[in-house]
């Protein structure tokens, strides 16, 4: 087995916009480094370290590959074991060739959500993929979508070369936890990755669990990066965190779109509203989690008349914005999120908010059918 450099070598990190050099290796991040000084909440940094859609890409004739990684996962003081670290998945010539559980490394223990964390340092672990087909092949190692993962080493028993351009269109997507897909059964099971595979495109997933709040630094990031297709899924975090009122929500959406259009004036751009979420359809946030583990809304529906937002209000406003802008922006499109997961499927929301792994895969297939069809926005 020979060591392969992870930086300044043949391996490409795709889906990451920054690589942090750590004590043991490199840590991919899904927003550029310049955005860090603008984070209002530390959860943004944590979400960008969760490598949803991040993969190592290269060509090789190796029959065996080793990846040394150091994960960082959480654990409540009341729990016996750390949270699941997720899966590392190897894709060879576009086909899933192997899955390995990501080893437990660093553990952040905390008394409860938002409490002070205590770091229990861990050691890197090695995952091995053997019995790969002979000959030169295209290889992608997909990192677990829910677990920050430092890449320490790559070893191969054959030659490793840089990937060749494949000519696929580049789709940039931004959304909430429902696009981050922590609950998916693996990194290739998130709905954006499922949809991208069916649509024959390369996806860059900038979704941030709990933090899809129309932050200007995200709009500027999308404005400045190469993109053939762009989609934005917004609304659920805005309602659940009571981030806007009706007076401020519309202008914030317009401003986000205007910034993106400064860099991509004619790129197909899809604005998506939230999937179904019974607790917030007619009631404003904020939300809390009840004894049954499901979210519930704490807001007063009577305040909608004075500007409080619900999912019903948000969907109507997003549809209105797209209709108003269509006259001068014919490449702007709207998709009601309930086309991906509707009110008759809320049993697939285990906590009343987040879809199950099977529901995420179904959402990816439906997105592809609606959006990548010949007559669809990305057709």
Contact in structure between 329 and 262 (CB atoms under 8 Å): no
Give residue 248's region: left, alpha or beta (phi > 0; psi -120 to 50). Answer: alpha
The model's pLDDT over 275-292, given as tens digits with 9 standing for 90+, comes to: 999 999 999 999 999 999
* Distance between CA atoms of residues 83 and 104, nearest Å: 9
Contact in structure between 221 and 17 (CB atoms under 8 Å): yes
Question: Phi, psi at residue 334, to the nearest 5°?
Answer: -125, 140
* Distance between CA atoms of residues 99 and 91, nearest Å: 9
Q: What is the predicted pLDDT for the residue at 113? A: 67
SS3 content of the chain, % helix, strand, coil (to 5): 30, 30, 45
pLDDT at 143 exceeding the cut of 80 = yes
Nearest C-alpha neighbor of 143 from the set 70, 14, 51, 19: 51
Instruction: Give the chain's domains with CATH numbers.
Output: 2-161 (2.60.120.260), 170-371 (3.40.50.1110)
Contact in structure between 129 and 56 (CB atoms under 8 Å): no
3-state DSSP call for residue 377? coil
The model's pLDDT over 281-338, given as tens digits with 9 standing for 90+, comes to: 999 999 999 999 999 999 999 999 999 999 999 999 999 999 999 999 999 999 999 9
User: Which tokens sit at 182?
Assistant: 């922590």
Q: Is the peptide bond before 286 cis (omega within 30 degrees of 0)?
A: yes
pTM score, whole prediction = 0.96
The CA-based angle 317-323-325, given to 5 degrees, is 100
CA of residue 219 relative to chain centroid, distance? 16
Contact in structure between 73 and 83 (CB atoms under 8 Å): yes
Q: How many CB atoms lie within 10 A of CB 375?
A: 5
Contact in structure between 127 and 154 (CB atoms under 8 Å): no
The model's pLDDT over 159-192, given as tens digits with 9 standing for 90+, comes to: 999 999 989 999 999 999 999 999 999 999 999 9
Q: Supply the DSSP symbol for 354.
A: S
Asked whether the CA dihedral 153, 157, 159, 164 is positive or negative, the reply is: negative
What is the pLDDT confidence band of residue 114, given thresholds at 50, 70 and 90? low
């Amino acid at each position: 087995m020979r060591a392969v450099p992870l930086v300044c070598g043949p391996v490409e990190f795709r889906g990451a916009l920054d690589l942090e050099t750590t004590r043991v290796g490199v840590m991919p991040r899904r927003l550029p480094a310049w955005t860090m000084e603008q984070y209002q909440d530390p959860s943004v940094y944590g979400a960008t370290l969760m490598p949803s859609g991040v993969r190592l890409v290269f060509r090789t004739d190796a029959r065996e590959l080793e990846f040394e990684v150091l994960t960082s996962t959480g654990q409540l003081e009341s729990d016996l074991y750390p949270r699941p670290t997720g899966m590392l998945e190897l894709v060879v010539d576009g086909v899933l060739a192997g899955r390995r559980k990501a080893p437990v490394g660093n553990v952040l223990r905390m008394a409860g959500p938002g409490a002070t964390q205590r770091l229990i340092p861990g050691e890197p672990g090695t995952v091995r993929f053997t019995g790969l087909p002979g000959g030169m092949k295209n290889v992608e190692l997909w990192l677990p979508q829910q677990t920050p993962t430092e890449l320490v080493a790559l070893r191969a028993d054959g030659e490793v070369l840089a990937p060749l351009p494949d000519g696929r269109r580049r789709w940039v997507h931004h959304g909430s936890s429902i696009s981050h897909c922590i609950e998916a059964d693996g990194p290739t099971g998130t709905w954006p990755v499922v949809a991208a595979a069916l649509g024959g495109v390369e996806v860059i997933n900038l979704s941030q669990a709990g933090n899809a709040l129309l932050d200007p630094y995200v709009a500027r990031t999308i404005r400045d990066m190469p993109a053939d297709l762009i989609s934005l899924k917004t609304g659920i975090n805005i309602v659940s965190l009571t981030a806007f009122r009706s007076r401020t929500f519309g202008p914030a959406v317009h401003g986000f779109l205007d910034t993106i259009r400064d860099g991509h004036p004619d790129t197909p751009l899809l604005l998506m509203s939230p999937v179904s979420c019974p607790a917030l359809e007619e009631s404003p946030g904020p939300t809390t989690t009840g004894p049954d583990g499901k979210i519930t809304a704490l807001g007063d529906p009577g305040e909608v008349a004075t500007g409080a937002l619900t999912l019903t209000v948000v969907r109507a406003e997003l549809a209105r914005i797209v209709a108003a802008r269509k006259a001068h922006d014919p490449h702007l499109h709207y998709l009601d999120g309930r086309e991906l997961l509707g009110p008759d499927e809320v049993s697939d929301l285990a906590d009343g908010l987040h879809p199950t792994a099977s529901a995420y895969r179904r959402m990816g297939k439906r997105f592809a059918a609606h959006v990548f069809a010949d007559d669809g926005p990305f057709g």
